[in-house]
Structure 1
Amino acid sequence: MHQELRLHGHIDDSIEYYVTVAAHQAEGCHFYERDDEVLRIFSPGNEVRLDRTGLRHWGNGGTFCEYMYGIDQPLPDLLKREVKNRLVMYGASYRDNGELEFCDDTSERIPYDTIFEEGHAISNCFFFVTGSIYGALKTQQEGLLCLLGKVLKRTPYVAANDDARLVDELFGLLGHKSHFYLIRLLNKKHQAYAELFRNLYFKYRTIPDEEYENLTVLAQRLGISDHQQKRIRIAVMYAHRDNRMVVDEYRDILVDCHLRGTISRQENARLTRLKTLATRNKIPPALFDPLEENLKYDKLVDQEQDYIAETREILSGLLLNRLRLDQAITRDDMVRLLEAKRLAMNNRDYLFDQILLETSKACDEMVFAGADVASVEKLSSIIDYFEHYERSVTEINNLAFMVGVRIEEPVLRGLQRSCKALDRLDQGLFDRLLFKDLLSNKFLGFYGRRKVLILRQALRQGWSVDAMIDALQNVSRDENLYGRLLGIVKEQLRIKYARAVTWQDRSALRDEVAAILVCQDGEKEPFPEQIFYDVMVNVEKEFFYLQELLPRIIRDSDIALREDFLINSGLDRFYIEELENSYLLRHGLDERVLSAVRKSTDGRD
């Protein structure tokens, strides 16, 4: 059995350290020395120094931390789902052919800002070993990587900050004469920011303005950079169970496609659905961007569609000097370009934007060489139309899929301007581009559909902004109330009622729900009977699905049964998937038991 000694302290009001030394006879180990300026952790041939501004190391070992969004994850690690941690060995680098090589120069000084910028924003570990490896430093490093590398990349104890179990796991791989030294550094300011954001995000998901202001004030007081704030927020949002499941599934699909070198229409439809789910759950696009960039999503979609060929043909008119510019791109051409843009966004086809970028570059080069500047002005006009479309897509999707989205006057005025701009090209173009696909989306929920239909009617009939705000906010209030009633009803049913609820029980339950609302926020106004009725009906449908249908669907992989319930129940498909995920988690089942059923359903979207 080995023993462990621990040393804990603070460098200043920002940096906290935990040092753990493990050995078979650790009680006689003298491993540190401290004066007013420097803390030394040392053993024969190895040393780490912590001073006011940074860390200096000599000897063997390395640094490791949990991967977080904001760290560029190497492709080999990204392709292995079991890899959780970043590991950097001192003196290691990659050759041009991708092979790892070591050198004997392992000493380096690293400022604390760099440690928490290049590694994890909150917690990073350093280690070295004596007694079980010998030879030149590069030989020691190669040996340590062979002994500990696989475990360090995969162990969950790094993220859990469980140094006792981490050291126990690693020490068991070393010889009985070994001494293992672990130094964990914590950034207390980043940790405080992360804890406040976690509490707010897990409570609200959409953080109220006044609460977000408190978060901003804390960041300013602690001197946390905007970049670190963003990294921490993204990491916290990714850590939310619902978000993690979506992002991990997105990654798994991209990994499979990357390894195969191609992406099918069914898989592309699944990725699009997950992006829509991300919008609903307020998952930031930044969680997906590194995956798409590292796994080369744009290279997987390599079949040039008809709309891409048409886009090339139309934009090439800007580059032909012999044509008059007003003939090069006509109004009909602009409509066709917008239709092509719609298809490209639906198919997540980045080739469209690449063609536009290439055309823009070519126009700039022509003007620089002396051509008429009107070609650039014409291209700017085209880009303006694309921006009208893209902004409208974003805002309308937020309205459709995000619960509790703010109804803001500038957004609605912007939609009015975009609608007028596109309809000047072709009457009804805005409606065709923005609403046709959305209203046929199977994942559009009941309240989201109501908001979209109101917005569509308002834009068609030229409502005032105030009228639009009133109508949309009424639906949002009903949506929020439905969500609150659903949560309260399910909790009351869980703790007080049997599975079957009589009409007498329902009346009592309604009174209990009203009393709870009064206790929570003093709400004394009676809530609409129809919303309570909808909640009760949908809860019964939910119980029926979870108790009767879902076990059969899992057992038989019954695609038709699941799809029939999704169509006829009227329940939100995203909500059904959340129920399924909770069911799988509660029964200890792997999510892959439903993946084939879900993919088949998504393939028909």
Structure 2
Amino acid sequence: MRYQEVRLHGQVNDSIEYYVTVASPEAYRSYFYESSDHSLRIFSPGNELILDADGLTHRGNGGSFCEYMFGVEQPLADLIKEEVRNRLVMFGTSSRDDGSLLFSNRTDGCEEYDRVFLEGNAVHNYFFFIFGSVSGPRHEQQEEILRLAGKDLKRFPFVGDGDDGQLVDELLPLLGHRSALYLIKLIHTKHQRYHDAFRDLYHKYQNIPDPEYAKLVQLAETLDIDSYQQERIRIDVMYKHAANRRIVDEYKNILVGCKLNGRIEPAENARLTRLKTLSVRSKIPSALFYALDEVLKPELLASSDEQDYLSDTRQILEGIFLHERQIDARIDGEDLVQLLKAKRRAVQNRDYAFEQMLLEAAKACDEKVRDGADVFLVENFSLIITYFDRFDSTSEHINELAFMDKVRFSEELVRSLLNNKKEFDVLGSALFDELFFSGIMQNRYLGQFGRRKVLALHKGLTAIEEGRLTMQGLQRLLNDICQQEEMFTKLLIHTKERIRNFYSRYSTAQEQKQLLAEVVRETGLSGTIDDELLQKLFRRVIHHVQMEELYLHNLLPRVIADRNSELRDDFLSNSGLDRFYVEELEREYFEYNGLDMEILSQVRQD
């Protein structure tokens, strides 16, 4: 199919840039736009779209589309189809209760730019209409356009790239040889600048240094980008990072499978929990998971029998409202302990029914006070929220210390944890340990250095309270372990590289001494680390490499051939290698050898 393209480019205000593409067999003979100082009108017989400084007005057929991103409402029908990437809205079209579409002749409308970039993509969105290949009433035109191109428009992988040329090349043939396509791309230039700046920093550092992040904050203030749009853009960039996307997509796929099956099996629940643990390590924003949970509602797939901790929580929260009946319903220490333990179990189980219950109670409190109830209701509920905030803050910092590298504790953070510990100790001397340390020490994905950091924090907080250690001392101790973790990782990477490229033997003391000297010279660690500590870390590196080779060359093939999960578990328990690291080795082994990943899943679940 031969056609011509005419493109028009400009800006309607200091934030919104447009690209208009008209493609048809005789595009150069078309008169398709009118402009003035205040607006731009793009038109064809029966259709028009007008851009002015504040928004756009449209009349005729067509619609809008954009790449899905966080904050864009995504219906379940799109979410369960892995190949669907884009949001498509046809003018004058709505959904019936059964999921079918209702087409209307009332397609005219207007939208402000803020709404376009809030409900659609934060960076760029497309509008379109066509002429020539569809006719009849508007609702028939819309239905025909959707039939011709809707499926492909929702699946084009390059919409997010903003490649207008490829869009026209793929879209126009679907519409018929007599069609003229009018494509209008709107770009929010300020959002684009922020997106590109954050993307460059994230791809360079991932854990963006504070000075660089401060520049990003300043850029957002200069461009006057609100915090929600900043969050959407950051999450979109982080989601598209390959390592992050794999975890989030796996989480989504499991939930979709559960949704289609109508329930969550125990094995699937364990996998979802593991993915959440790994997401903490990768600093994947929890908002991505909440967005999926909101649509797929995993809590509705669980057993209909309410968990005991949910029943206890419901009783306490409902009890608050008994005060209206002159019953003493104040929250005491025992109630707070019960609620905190329930919150801990809800977090472990990813049970959002707990948070929903809390939100419903808060809403009920607000409504009753607004209608004249005693403010005692809010005061009582605020006490719960205060302790829950302390729980969230403490849990977040301890989990970051346990599962993330390059974490640095400040004196202010140590002081904050101490203050929170004192408040929890008022409720029970063993409560702080039970809430924050008992569970994490049993986590199978807690690595060697993570365990050391958590133990050091646990003992250090007690030592400070007893006057045997200062806050600065604990801060230095934790940061020293973090530094050792970084040195170990650096030594491991370079040692494996040297062994892979230059050494076939490294078992003797002399060979190891020579290897260490070369690695130290290559990494620039010479003179920056105590020799005794260096030797200790290198011995651990050698052990790590030996165990890794033993597993990959001897044990893992037997585990796979015999489906021998006991042999795998024995290695995980006694090798000294972190479970997360071993699972990455297994994944790379299966991908390199083209093996069925389902076998690996079976071995891990047995």
TM-score between the two structures when normalised by the length of structure 1: 0.87
Q: Which residue is equivalent to 2:140?
A: 139
1:61–1:126 contact (8 Å) kept in structure 2: yes
Cα distance, 1:353 vs structure 2: 4.3
Question: Which range moved further: 168-177 or 241-250?
Answer: 168-177
Q: Which residue is equivalent to 2:443?
A: 441
The structure-2 alpha-carbon separation of the partners of 1:366 and 1:446, relative to structure 1 and needing over 3 Å to count, comes to same
Matches within 5 A, 1:271-420: 271-301=272-302, 302-313=304-315, 318=320, 325=328, 331-332=333-334, 334-356=336-358, 377=379, 380-420=382-422
Matches within 5 A, 1:49-60: 49-60=50-61
Q: Which residue is equivalent to 1:3?
A: 3
Per-residue CA deviation, residues 433-471 of structure 1 (Å, 9 max, x unaligned), is 221111011000111110100111123332431121111
Question: Which range moved further: 241-250 or 459-468?
Answer: 459-468
Q: Which residue is equivalent to 2:170?
A: 169
Q: Which residue is equivalent to 1:563?
A: 569
Cα distance, 1:9 vs structure 2: 2.5
Cα distance, 1:592 vs structure 2: 5.3
Q: Which residue is equivalent to 1:178?
A: 179
What amino acid does structure 1 have at the position aligned with 2:241? H
Question: Which range moved further: 561-570 or 184-193?
Answer: 561-570
2:9–2:19 contact (8 Å) kept in structure 1: yes
Provide the C-alpha distance between the structure 2 equivalents of 1:509 and 1:443, rounded to a whole number of angstroms.
30
Q: Which residue is equivalent to 2:215?
A: 214
Cα distance, 1:17 vs structure 2: 3.4
State the secondary structure of the residue aligned to 1:60: coil
Matches within 5 A, 1:143-158: 143-158=144-159
Provide the C-alpha distance between the structure 1 equivalents of 2:55 and 2:443, rounded to a whole number of angstroms.
54
Compare relative contact order (CA 8 Å, sep 6+) and give the higher one, 1 or 2: 1
State the secondary structure of the residue aligned to 1:288: helix
Question: Which range moved further: 379-388 or 202-211?
Answer: 379-388
- Runs of 5+ in structure 1 lacking a partner? none
1:38–1:52 contact (8 Å) kept in structure 2: yes
Cα distance, 1:283 vs structure 2: 1.0
What amino acid does structure 2 have at the position aligned with 1:497? F
Cα distance, 1:138 vs structure 2: 1.4
Q: Which residue is equivalent to 1:118?
A: 119
Q: Which residue is equivalent to 1:470?
A: 476
Provide the C-alpha distance between the structure 1 equivalents of 2:591 and 2:15, rounded to a whole number of angstroms.
38
Cα distance, 1:234 vs structure 2: 0.7
Provide the C-alpha distance between the structure 2 equivalents of 1:125 and 1:546, rounded to a whole number of angstroms.
50
Cα distance, 1:324 vs structure 2: 7.7
Provide the C-alpha distance between the structure 1 equivalents of 2:581 and 2:77, rounded to a whole number of angstroms.
34
Number of equivalenced pairs: 595
Provide the C-alpha distance between the structure 1 equivalents of 2:80 and 2:536, rounded to a whole number of angstroms.
49
The structure-2 alpha-carbon separation of the partners of 1:129 and 1:590, relative to structure 1 and needing over 3 Å to count, comes to farther
Cα distance, 1:544 vs structure 2: 4.9
1:91–1:106 contact (8 Å) kept in structure 2: yes
Question: Which range moved further: 433-442 or 309-318?
Answer: 309-318
State the secondary structure of the residue aligned to 1:427: coil
Matches within 5 A, 1:564-603: 564-582=570-588, 594-598=600-604, 600=605
Provide the C-alpha distance between the structure 2 equivalents of 1:21 and 1:304, rounded to a whole number of angstroms.
58
- Runs of 5+ in structure 2 lacking a partner? none
Provide the C-alpha distance between the structure 2 equivalents of 1:370 and 1:422, rounded to a whole number of angstroms.
33
Provide the C-alpha distance between the structure 2 equivalents of 1:166 and 1:342, rounded to a whole number of angstroms.
49
Question: Which range moved further: 44-53 or 497-506?
Answer: 497-506
Q: Which residue is equivalent to 2:269?
A: 268
Q: Which residue is equivalent to 1:44?
A: 45
Provide the C-alpha distance between the structure 2 equivalents of 1:415 and 1:99, rounded to a whole number of angstroms.
53
Question: Which range moved further: 15-24 or 449-458?
Answer: 15-24
RMSD across aligned C-alpha pairs, in angstroms?
A: 3.4
1:335–1:425 contact (8 Å) kept in structure 2: yes
Provide the C-alpha distance between the structure 2 equivalents of 1:396 and 1:490, rounded to a whole number of angstroms.
31
State the secondary structure of the residue aligned to 1:399: helix
Cα distance, 1:52 vs structure 2: 3.9
What amino acid does structure 1 have at the position aligned with 2:440? L
The structure-2 alpha-carbon separation of the partners of 1:532 and 1:202, relative to structure 1 and needing over 3 Å to count, comes to farther
What amino acid does structure 1 have at the position aligned with 2:451? R
What amino acid does structure 1 have at the position aligned with 2:305? Q
Provide the C-alpha distance between the structure 2 equivalents of 1:515 and 1:366, rounded to a whole number of angstroms.
70
Provide the C-alpha distance between the structure 1 equivalents of 2:578 and 2:318, rounded to a whole number of angstroms.
44
What amino acid does structure 2 have at the position aligned with 1:422? F
Cα distance, 1:585 vs structure 2: 5.6
State the secondary structure of the residue aligned to 2:160: coil
**Pair 1:452-2:457 in alignment:** no
1:4–1:20 contact (8 Å) kept in structure 2: no
Provide the C-alpha distance between the structure 2 equivalents of 1:542 and 1:59, rounded to a whole number of angstroms.
65
2:506–2:515 contact (8 Å) kept in structure 1: no
Cα distance, 1:139 vs structure 2: 0.7
State the secondary structure of the residue aligned to 2:50: strand
Cα distance, 1:400 vs structure 2: 0.9
Question: Which range moved further: 366-375 or 414-423?
Answer: 366-375
Question: Which range moved further: 244-253 or 45-54?
Answer: 45-54
Among 479, 497, 502, the residue aligned to 1:497: 502
Q: Percent identity?
A: 49
State the secondary structure of the residue aligned to 2:121: coil
Provide the C-alpha distance between the structure 1 equivalents of 2:504 and 2:88, rounded to a whole number of angstroms.
51
Cα distance, 1:214 vs structure 2: 1.1
The structure-2 alpha-carbon separation of the partners of 1:190 and 1:333, relative to structure 1 and needing over 3 Å to count, comes to closer
Question: Which range moved further: 270-279 or 527-536?
Answer: 527-536
Provide the C-alpha distance between the structure 2 equivalents of 1:575 and 1:134, rounded to a whole number of angstroms.
61
Cα distance, 1:477 vs structure 2: 0.9
The structure-2 alpha-carbon separation of the partners of 1:292 and 1:42, relative to structure 1 and needing over 3 Å to count, comes to same
Cα distance, 1:405 vs structure 2: 1.8
2:145–2:175 contact (8 Å) kept in structure 1: no
Provide the C-alpha distance between the structure 1 equivalents of 2:83 and 2:182, rounded to a whole number of angstroms.
25
Provide the C-alpha distance between the structure 1 equivalents of 2:360 and 2:44, rounded to a whole number of angstroms.
58
What amino acid does structure 2 have at the position aligned with 1:194? H
Provide the C-alpha distance between the structure 2 equivalents of 1:166 and 1:369, rounded to a whole number of angstroms.
55
What amino acid does structure 2 have at the position aligned with 1:3? Y
What amino acid does structure 1 have at the position aligned with 2:474? M
The structure-2 alpha-carbon separation of the partners of 1:491 and 1:315, relative to structure 1 and needing over 3 Å to count, comes to same
